[in-house]
Amino acid sequence: MHNTRRTTVKHLILALAIAASPLAAAAHETAKGPNGGPVVDSSGHHVEMVAKDTSLVVYLTEGADKPLASAGTKNARAIVQDGGNTATVPLQPAEPNKLVGALAQPLGSGARVVVSATMADGHTVQARFAGN
């Protein structure tokens, strides 16, 4: 009986951790950005993702919603999980504060997108978006 209680407690802790993880991931996400997409806070910057048809645009702003220059951004990419498939989408800087890429197909309603980039000053920006 004692071993069964430990197993039950472990399962309860695991279930609570799984249930809380989407809440923690969404804690920094705001409703909508100025371009109509979801916004995530990343290291004091705001990252807004807008996907329309096969176009993916990521807008970068500073905490005060001032544009964060995208020129000189390196290793920018989006990892897209959609409908059981995973794809890497290269993102290219576009003035003044955008990273743009082409999707193979429009995003589905349950798609998950992880954006990462190294800014010109060397710091990294990462953002996770789920359920577009």
pLDDT at 14: 39
Rounded to whole angstroms, the Cα distance separating 88 from 73 reads 17
Q: Which residues of the chain carry a pLDDT beneath 50?
A: 1, 7-28
The model's pLDDT over 68-83, given as tens digits with 9 standing for 90+, comes to 999 999 999 999 999 9
31 CB-near residues (< 8 Å, 6+ apart): 38, 39
List all residues 6 or more positions away from 46 whose beta carbon is below 8 Å from its beta carbon.
30, 33, 39, 40, 59, 60, 61, 62, 63, 65
pTM above 0.85, yes or no: no
| pLDDT value at residue 64 | 80
36 vs 124: CA distance, rounded Å: 24
